[in-house]
Structures are given as C-alpha cells and as structure tokens.
Structure 1
Amino acid sequence: MTTAFEPLAAGRLALRNRVVMAPMTRRRAYGTLPTTDTADYYAQRAGAGLVVTEGIQPSAIGQGYVDTPGLHTDEQVAAWRRVTDAVHEAGGTIVAQLMHTGRIGHPAITEAVGHGPLTPVAPSAVPAAGRVHTPDGHRDPVVPKALTAEDIERTIADFTDAARKAIVAGFDGVEIHGANGYLLHQFLATNTNQRTDRWGGSPENRIRFAVEVARAVSAAIGADRTGLRISPANGLGDTVEDDHRVVYPLLVRELDTLGLAYLHLVEAGDPGLTPVVRDLWSGTLILNPADADTAAHPARVGLVADGVADAVSFGRLFIANPDLAHRLATGAPLAEPDLTKAYGGDHTGYTDYPALQPQLV
C-alpha cells in the first residue's frame, strides 16, 4: 500500500512525499517582483513533496490583482532565482504556476505597475460580476476585450515565453492555471466563451485553447516538466459550465496524449467527477479534495492509499503549518491560519508561523 509520505516521480519532477502545497495568491510582491520574504516563505514549506507557487502572470496583460508577481522580464527572472535557490537549498521541489487572469482585472492595476492602463482580455466581451480590488479601492469591472485569433496565438506564445523564463529562473517545472475562473477556464465555460470560431461554440472547440497552451509549453520546456490545474464547475470568477460533464472528459483525454508531468484536479465543484478523471488520466493525478483545508480532515492523505489520487494538495493549512507534511505524518496538532492576514502586508501572517521542528518529511 502506497502512503502519502512516500516519494513520487511525476514526469521529471522528484517529489520527496505526496503532500503538495497548493498555489495560493498572497499579494506580497514588490511591484511585480518576489521579495526576500517570498524566498523565506517558500523555503519554510520545502518539506512539501511539491511546492506550487502563487499565480504568476505570464505577461503584463495577464495581471488581475494588486501586488502579484510576474515572469515576463529579466528582472523578475532574477528575483525568482533567489526563491528557487532557497527552496532547493532546503531540499524542495518547486514549480511556477502560470496564471493569466483574463477578464478578471482592471486597467488601474496594470497602470499602477507602469504597464499602462491595459484593458483585460477574454474569449468574449463579457464582464465578470462583482467588484475589482484596485490600488484606488474597489471598482466596477470593465468590459474585457475579446481576443482576436492573432491575440490568442500571441497569448499562447506568452505562456511559452514565461515557461522558458521559469526554467532559467531555476524552477523545476511549471503548472498552467486552467482553473478558478481565469483565462483558460474562461475558454471552457459556456457563459464566458460565446465565440463562433474554432476557439468557441462546441465543447471540442472550447477545450482547444487549454490544449494548445499545454502543447506549446510542453514543446518549450518538456511535457515532463509541465502540469495543468483544472476545477470543473467550481463557479469561481463568475463562470458557468452547463456541460462540464462533457467538456472535462474531452479535455482530459486530449491532455493525456501530451505526456504531462501531472494533472492537478480541484474537486470542489463536482466531486463526483473525480473517479471519471482518474480513469481517463494515465499520468500522475494531484487532487485538491473538496475538504482539503478543513483541519478536522487530515485523513484526506488517505486518498493516496485508497488509490483515489497519486498526491494530495493543501492550501490554507500550509499557511499556518509550514511543516504540514511532517505534522500529517506524525499526527501532530495543526495550527489555524489568521486569514485576516492572508493577502498583502508584511511578514506577519506570512513567514512568522513556526514549525514544530526543523526536520521535515
């Protein structure tokens, strides 16, 4: 019986255990640069089998939040190199999550970091519901610019350029963010993708962008260093997926032919789809369970032993428990994070959560 505390080879990625740190936006970049606190934060959590970074925008137009880091300039590459060096020195494995937020954003956000007031882009000119946090406070969302066919090709190239920069910056690989209402997810969803060309309409057309991004990134850095995250029907970012039970099996089948290092499944939207994905996916499956961040359910690591997934990812529990893998392995108490300090600020609520002991699993 395989347990969550045994090593795992996911493509070229060597995981010391099967407890994965899920990507979490923390909004603590300096402009668009990770800081020395960022390096400390991830190094503290290097006991995870795999550290997946917060979402990193692959282009200026891909930024949708204040104080999030990028990976599209040489200065950003140099700053991330300090982070990856710190994680590797601590014995960890780290991948960069490439996150293009699509219609989630505002011109005031890109203007504040010197890129000009860029209008967010999306599959179709359909704004998201709700309000947008900007440097000037909460504002109404703008109508996004519908990507042209040429824009789509340029966006795919942006992902590949960022993936190459990730490798130069010392990352062990990349995770393409295809979940949680961001650009790839917007192409998959029926309410955000109202196109009538080869990138929209039928399920086969709506999965095309995600597949082509994964194909291009794989060609650039190797499929065995490329992962992708999906979140069927979770509704984030004001997404509606009327036919997700058709779309995601199609998507998984296509992705499976690429030989990716792993697929990262967020099951909160439709847990019943998990066994379907498991059956269709021949590679490594990382599962973010529906109750993964509930401290009362650390036994979720048992999903590995049960064969439900090859590894399990945790988000909020890693905020307050930098040595989470060790705590789960030994049954030690789990600390609760102060979520009032989850986004922005200084080192408090970021790098000041103590580990029980230096030795990590």
Structure 2
Amino acid sequence: MVDYQFLNAFKFKTGLTLKNRVVMSPMTTMTSFYNGMVSTDEVNYYAARAAGLGMVITGVANVTESGKGFEGELSVASDEMIPGLQRLANAIHQNGTKAILQIFHAGRKSNHKILRGEEPVSASAIAASHPADSEIPRALSNKEILHIIDSFGQATQRAITAGFDGVELHGANTYLLQQFFSPNSNQRNDDWGGNRQKRMRFSMAVINETLKIAKKSPRPFVVGYRISPEEIETPGIRLADSLYFVDQIKDLVNYVHLSMGSYKRTSLNDKTNTQTILSQFAELTKEHLPLIGVGSVEKASDANAVLADGADLVALGRELLREPQWVQKVIAGDEESIRNTISPVDMNELAIPSVMQVYLQTAFKSVMNFTTDPNAPVDYQNTLAPMEGGKKEH
C-alpha cells in the first residue's frame, strides 16, 4: 500500500482527533420528514458511508423554520429534533468516525411554497439572479437578525446535546451568511451593510455566538466555516473579498472548508490569477487553522494532490455516493476496484434514498458520472457546479 498522508491521524486545537484526514463533504439528501426530522433512510445512507472516514459533515440543517431552503431538509430548529439527530450522530460514530452537523439559514434561496406561505427573507429585498423565477425576499429587521444569530447558538447547543462533535456554519453556496457578505444581495445602509467590514458583521456575530455555546461542550467540539471563494454576479464577492474574510476569522473558528466543484480551480473572475484558489487560501490558513480542500476528488492521487496543494484535510462528496468504501479500499491496497462511475441500477444497493436518486438523475446528472449518460462528465475547474449555487440546482 502507498503511504498516503491523508490516511494519517489529525488533531484539532480543541482536542478533537480524527483517525484519518478524509472527510465526507456535506451533500443534500432531501430525505428528512416534512418538518425536518431525521428519517430512517437518512440514517441508513450515512451509516453505509461513515465507517472508514475520519469525519462526516451532514447535509444542511436549518436553524429556524424561516431558514428552510428546500423540501426534505434536515432541521435543528427545535428540541423535538434532538432524538432523531442523536440517531444520526450514532450512525456516523461507528468505528470512531467524528460527526459534524452543518447548520444554516437559506435566506433568499427559498420561496413561499417551501415556507408554507411565508415570504423568504434576506439582507436586502433583492431576488437571486438564478433561478429566473427567484422570489424577491423581504429585508430582515434588526430584531429578526438578532433572533437568527441566537438561533445559530441554540442549534449548536442541540448539536452538542445530540452527540455531534462539531458544527459547520454554511457560509457558502449563496445562502444567508453569504448573502450578508455579498454586495450583490446586501445593499443595506445600516450597521449590517455597507463596506466589506460591515457586510461581515452578521457572519462574525453568528461565529461568536456559536463559539460561545461550543465552549460549553463537555467534550472536544469544533466550529467550522464553509465559504464559496467567488460569485460570478456583478457586483458580487471576489476572491480578494473571501481571502480577506478568512484572514479575519482564521484565529476564531476551528477550520475553514472551501466549496468548489474542482480542487484545481483558479479564479473565475480574474483570468490573470493562475494560482489555484486552494493554495491561495492555504497560504493564509497555514499555522492558524486546518483547511479542507474539496472538488472532484475521485482517486487517491487526487486526495494526495489536495494535501500537496496546502490543505490539511480532504473532502469527498460525489465519489462517496459511488463508492461508500473508498477509504477501506485504499487502505487495503485495492484502488483498482474503486468505482468512479455509478449505475442508476445500483443506487438502492448503495443506500441512496429514493428521492435523492431522482434529483441526482435530473438536476445533478452532469456531475454524477452515470454509466448510462453518453455525455462526458462536466469539468467544474472553470465554472460553478450546481451544488455551489450554479444555474442547475434543486
């Protein structure tokens, strides 16, 4: 067996130790019950993939009912959710794997149907540029903003109670945390908007509230932050903005997780910047906090390349749908048997929930490497992928 660095253990400053550096990237299952409670299909899906990994990050869980972004979404908005979340954490914990609950508020990436007649909310009353039928959200009041910040703290406490080892703040893929930082979606003229520093205020308040609660955990607990490096809209977040953001939080949170369709990506907006985005963030985070690299990691050589480019941990998403035993096969020296394609016929056997199967074969078809798809897989090195908030999305 090749001596791969990603199979080495890793320890966070909080004391949380991972048996290896391979992470399951958060992926939407759309399989929770109508009210956000965990379903058995969801538990089985994670259980089928968790054992070999160092850490599993769940798909998003909303922190308030107004934060729901799609049907079948996990929720951590009330204490009623704790028993189901406990089952989920237990399923992930097999063989010492650590469990991270990703938490968020969808903001304007929702609609009145999903919110049962309520208007979506955001930093400003500006509709998203895509999909074309995006609804104009209602601008949040100061009181509502403070309530959402508090809700992130309450969600963190529920994650601790349910037995998770950390939370990841989803500040990527054009959801509310990103909406407040973006000059595209945040055009407020109060203390929550304006220049770049003021647009950071909401994210910083959420981070600080979450950290305050995390410190009360009786066991090692981490708080991570996921970020999308760039937006393609004008005005919008540029790479320099995201590097600035990470520079401000690098001594606060416990890790930073990039959201990109390809780990090889260079800037989408500045074609003169030919350095990989991953390595540019690594220069900032080195010796401060761990960086999770991600994006089209399929083979062990890809995982190696991510660490060689400066990441401390490597996340696999779609590849773990195709190959739940990825880590075990690498450890066994059986890399030739790792599946980099997936047959629709095998999805039940792979414990992929039925509703998830539908959108993988529709909105996400171009990124899944289906054996029945005559088209070559789309390379997301130079464009946004659907899971990043690109134009093809659920």
TM-score normalised by length of structure 2? 0.77
- SS of equivalent to 1:98: strand
Q: Which residue of the partner structure matches residue 100 of structure 1?
A: 105
CA deviation after TM superposition for structure 1 residue 159, in Å: 0.7
> What is the rounded CA distance, in whole Å, between the counterparts of 1:225 and 1:243 in structure 2?
27
Q: 1:344 Cα shift? A: 6.3
Corresponding letter in the other structure for 1:247: D
Deviation of 1:240 (Å): 4.9
Superposed, 1:189-200 pairs within 5 Å as 189-200=182-193
The answer on 1:63 being equivalent to 2:68 is: yes
Alignment of 1:253-272 (within 5 A): 253-258=247-252, 260-268=253-261, 270=267, 272=276
Query: CA separation in 2, counterparts of 1:174 and 1:56?
Result: 10
User: 2:254 matched to 1:248?
Assistant: no
Residue-by-residue CA offset, 1:31-68 (whole Å, 9 max, x unaligned): 11111221121122222111000011111001010111
The one of 29, 51, 61 equivalent to 2:56 is: 51
CA distance in 2, matches of 1:344, 1:130: 27
Deviations 1:192-235 (A, max 9, x none): 11112222221111222222211110111139510010011155
Separation in 2 of the partners of 1:343 and 1:183?
Answer: 28
Cα deviation code 1:121-156 (max 9, x no counterpart): 111101123449xxxxxxx33210111222211111
AA in 2 matched with 1:218: L
Following the alignment from structure 2 to structure 1, what is the Cα–Cα distance between the partners of residues 241 and 130?
Answer: 26
Amino acid at match of 1:288: V
Aligned-partner SS, 2:59: strand
Contact 2:126 2:137 in 1 (8 A): yes
Equivalent AA in structure 1 for residue 289 of structure 2: G
Instruction: Please state how far the C-alpha of 1:89 moved relative to its aligned partner.
Output: 3.5
Counterpart amino acid of residue 121 in structure 1: V
Deviation at 1:98, TM superposition (A): 0.3
TM-score, normalised via structure 1 length? 0.83
Q: Which amino acid aligns with 1:76?
A: M
Matched, 1:151 2:144: yes
How many angstroms apart in 2 are the aligned matches of 1:181 and 1:343?
A: 26
Which residue does 1:27 correspond to in 2? Answer: 30
Q: Aligned in 2, Cα 1:204/1:13: closer, same or farther, shift over 3 Å?
A: same
Quick one: structure 1 residues 157 and 343, their matched pair in 2 at CA, closer, same or farther if it must change by over 3 Å?
A: farther
Matched, 1:345 2:354: yes
Structure 1 residue 109: Cα displacement: 1.2
Residue deviations 1:83-124 (CA, integer Å, cap 9, x gap): 11122234311100002111011121132xxxxx22111111
Contact kept, 8 Å, 1:44 with 1:322, in 2: the verdict is yes
State the one-letter code of the partner of 1:249: L
Task: Give, in whole Å, the separation in 2 of the partners of 1:146 and 1:328.
Answer: 49
Question: Which residue of structure 2 aligns with residue 225 of structure 1?
Answer: 222
Structure-1 separation of matches of 2:41 and 2:226: 26
Confirm or deny that 1:273 pairs with 2:277.
yes
Residues 337, 234 of structure 1: alpha-carbon distance in 2 compared, 3 angstrom cutoff: farther
Shift of 1:190: 1.9
User: 1:207 and 1:60 mapped to 2: Cα distance?
Assistant: 24
Please report how far the alpha carbon of residue 241 of structure 1 lies from its aligned counterpart in structure 2 after TM superposition: 5.7
Counterpart Cα distance in 1 of 2:227 and 2:9: 24
- Partner AA of 1:37 in structure 2: D
1:180 and 2:183 are equivalent in the alignment:
no
For structure 1, the 5+ residue unaligned runs are: 112-116, 133-139, 351-361
Bigger relative CO (Cα 8 Å, ≥ 6 apart): 1
Which consecutive residues of structure 2, in runs of 5 or more, have no partner in the other structure? 268-274, 360-394
* 205-214 or 62-71, larger mean C-alpha shift: 205-214
CA gap of 1:5–1:349, structure 2 versus 1, over 3 A, is farther
Matched, 1:141 2:140: no
Q: Which amino acid aligns with 2:222?
A: R
Q: Percent identity?
A: 30
How far apart, in 1, do the equivalents of 2:324 and 2:353 lie?
18
Decide whether aligned partners of structure 1 residues 130 and 252 sit closer, same or farther in structure 2, where only a CA change above 3 A counts.
Answer: closer
Quick check: 2:251–2:289 contact (8 Å CA) kept in 1? no
Change (3 A) 1:241 1:160: farther
Partner Cα separation in structure 2 for residue 149 and residue 37 of structure 1 = 39
CA distance in 2, matches of 1:103, 1:346: 24
Partner letter of residue 318 of structure 2? Answer: R
Give SS of 1:109's match: coil
Structure 2 residue corresponding to 1:18, chosen from 17, 21, 25: 21
1:78/1:275 Cα in 2 relative to 1: closer, same or farther (>3 Å)? same
TM-aligned CA deviation for residue 2 of structure 1: 7.1
1:6 aligns to 2:8 (yes or no): yes
- Deviation of 1:71 after TM superposition, in Å, equals 0.5
Native 8 Å contact 1:34 1:79 kept in 2:
yes
Which residue number corresponds to residue 284 of structure 1? 290
* CA 1:241–1:173: 2 relative to 1, 3 Å: farther
Is residue 13–residue 173 contact of structure 1 (8 Å, CA) maintained in 2? no
The alpha carbon displacement at 1:348 in A equals: 6.7
CA spacing shift, 1:146–1:337, aligned 2, 3 Å: farther
Number of residue pairs aligned between Structure 1 and Structure 2: 330
Identify the residue that residue 210 of structure 1 maps to in structure 2: 203
> How far apart are the structure 2 equivalents of 1:347 and 1:202?
40
Give the secondary structure class of the aligned counterpart of 2:113: helix
Residues 96 and 175 in structure 1, CA contact (< 8 A), matched pair in contact too: yes
Which of the residues 315, 318, 339 maps onto 1:316? 318
Contact preservation (8 Å) 1:207, 1:247? no
Aligned twin of 1:137: none
